[in-house]
Amino acid sequence: MPVATRGALKLLDASDLDWLRPEVLLANTYHLMLRPGAQLIEEMGGIHRFSGWEGPYLSDSGGYQVFSLSPQVDAEGASFKSVYDGSLLRLTPASAVEAQERIGADIAMCLDVCSALPAERGSLEADMERTLVWAGRCQAAHRRGDQALFGVVQGGTDLGLRARCAKQLVEMGFDGYGIGGLSVGESRPEMLSALAATLEVLPEDQPRYLMGVGDPLSLVEAISMGVDMFDCVLPTRLARHGVALSWEGRLRLRAARFARQAEPIEADCSCVVCARYSRAYLRHLLCVGEPTGGRLLSLHNLWWTGALVRSARAAIVEGSLAGLVGRVRRAWGSAEA
């Protein structure tokens, strides 16, 4: 899922989505509830009509952003200051669900408590227990029959807590399951163990969504473990910093070595950018600060990431996923992204 933070992929619009065809687009509830407001989006017909894109949307709960603002958290919710005007606001399980119902995405997420890592087991457990209580409140508050609701597994890097949280959420019964609180500073082996402990419990026949992870190696490794959904700002954020994703790894296109390269970012990439523009031209746009440079790289990076996931799906069917994971590992080395 590409991330349309404020209801748009940065530098792109819905006509780009017509050919990018992401299976789902993520919109951030935190940003949309502050500007323009969930009620306004509802009045304008919901996020699909408002943004001009009729494909599937997932909204997050707003929790991840709120928890990154060091909010005052109590048993009922979190109080925080708006980044826009400093006003004091409150997010509770019920208000997170209400905002998401008004925004009207196809998939809504339960409000969870994301533990900052590293953390003591006691604090991980308290956050996980609160996540479970809040999941129950979100489920009770959720009214829209045309909107799926996903639970979110927490528990940090503690395998027992991960398994317990996943088991209880499955007993409560959600339409799908997010795996939150990973890739937030823990080591790679710790992340993969926590992921494995979670996936062991979550049902294979329901969507399993690894939240906020999207570097190429993590994508294919997690897919090979059984993850179905991802979101990440990486493709568009790197693009705006002049970095193209490729089978050579990251290409920092501002580098002087690209100045006279007539070939596209990647010869066998089937995106509109690689069909038309040279590395030399893209480098020029980036070096002189033309916004089109970041826009074209965003298009390529999103297409490239989507193509990687489609390759993984084909490889699963052909039984050759291990080969693909090896190829990505050789190209991308450590998952540093």
Distance CA 296, CA 158 (A): 41
In the complex, the smallest distance separating the C-beta of residue 337 from Zn ion, rounded to whole angstroms, is 18
Among 113, 234, 274, 285, binds Zn ion (CB under 5 A): 274
Site for Zn ion in 251-270 (CB under 5 A): 269
Residue 167 sits at the vertex; the CA angle it makes with 165 and 173, to the nearest 5 degrees, is 105
Report which of 114, 110, 87 is spatially closest to residue 99, judged by C-alpha positions: 110
CB closer to Zn ion out of 108 and 219: 219
In the complex, the smallest distance separating the C-beta of residue 227 from Zn ion, rounded to whole angstroms, is 25
CB closer to Zn ion out of 130 and 240: 240
Considering only the stretches 81-89, 193-201, 251-259, 293-301, report the one whose residues sit in contact with Zn ion under the rule CB under 5 A: 293-301
Distance CA 24, CA 142 (A): 21
Number of residues engaging Zn ion in binding (CB under 5 A):
5
Tell me if 245 contacts Zn ion by CB under 5 A: no
Catalytic residue among 60, 112, 158, 215: 60
In the complex, the smallest distance separating the C-beta of residue 281 from Zn ion, rounded to whole angstroms, is 13
Known catalytic residue: 231? yes
Helices 291-318 and 216-225, axial angle in degrees (round to 10): 30
Q: How many CB atoms lie within 10 A of CB 337?
A: 19
In the complex, the smallest distance separating the C-beta of residue 278 from Zn ion, rounded to whole angstroms, is 12
CB closer to Zn ion out of 135 and 265: 265
Site for Zn ion in 299-318 (CB under 5 A): 300
- Nearest-10 Cα torsion for 273, 307, 268, 324: 150
In the complex, the smallest distance separating the C-beta of residue 296 from Zn ion, rounded to whole angstroms, is 9
Catalytic residue among 16, 112, 215, 231: 231
Considering only the stretches 68-76, 154-162, 206-214, 294-302, report the one whose residues sit in contact with Zn ion under the rule CB under 5 A: 294-302
Among 97, 271, 309, 328, binds Zn ion (CB under 5 A): 271
Tell me if 17 contacts Zn ion by CB under 5 A: no
Report which of 322, 329, 302 is spatially closest to residue 23, judged by C-alpha positions: 302
CB closer to Zn ion out of 27 and 273: 273
Q: Mind telling me the catalytic residues?
A: 60, 231
Q: Under the rule (CB under 5 A), what is the footprint of Zn ion?
A: 269, 271, 273-274, 300
